[in-house]
Structure 1
Amino acid sequence: MNWNTSSAFAPVGLVLRGRETHTVVRTLGDAAYLLIRDWPFDDGEEYMIAVKACIDAICGDVAPEQFREAFLRAADEAGIAALTIVH
């Protein structure tokens, strides 16, 4: 399992509602934590695809970049503003 993959996809900055107003997702572990714990809802189609893609990426079954694309679609579905962080 590859929880801390950070170089495989560009970090994503998200603007959330609630106690944390913004966060940066740098690793698959960060993404998994956010999807399971802090996502605003858990019944969207893109959300479910992103959760599965995250698990698949952690297990090495899909490329982290494929997960990132699914993650961005889920953010859009949830009305979460997402920004690519450039180093």
Structure 2
Amino acid sequence: MNGSNESLVMADLCSECPKGPDVLVATLSVAGAILLLGLTALLVWKLLITIHDHHEFAKFEEEKARAKWEANNPLYKGATSTFQNVAYRGS
């Protein structure tokens, strides 16, 4: 206040409001991060499954090599029944 009941107000008439956040950049950043995390998770899952399958196949091959069968599979049994067609009159 000056000595004569007057108020002095100083205003900056040339100032601008700050820019708001860029919504497109924020949206694309979040979407890209989610996509990157998802692809990383899928690649890790595929790697773990491939390693597990490799170990299981190696165990199978080892068991197959240890099997001591004779000429053929012991679970297989040949046909034991024969049937005659009574309507057949050929030689």
Tell whether the structures are fold-level matches, with TM greater than 0.5: no
TM-score w.r.t. length of structure 2:
0.19
TM-score, with normalisation over the residues of structure 1? 0.20
Larger RCO (CA within 8 A; separation ≥ 6): 1
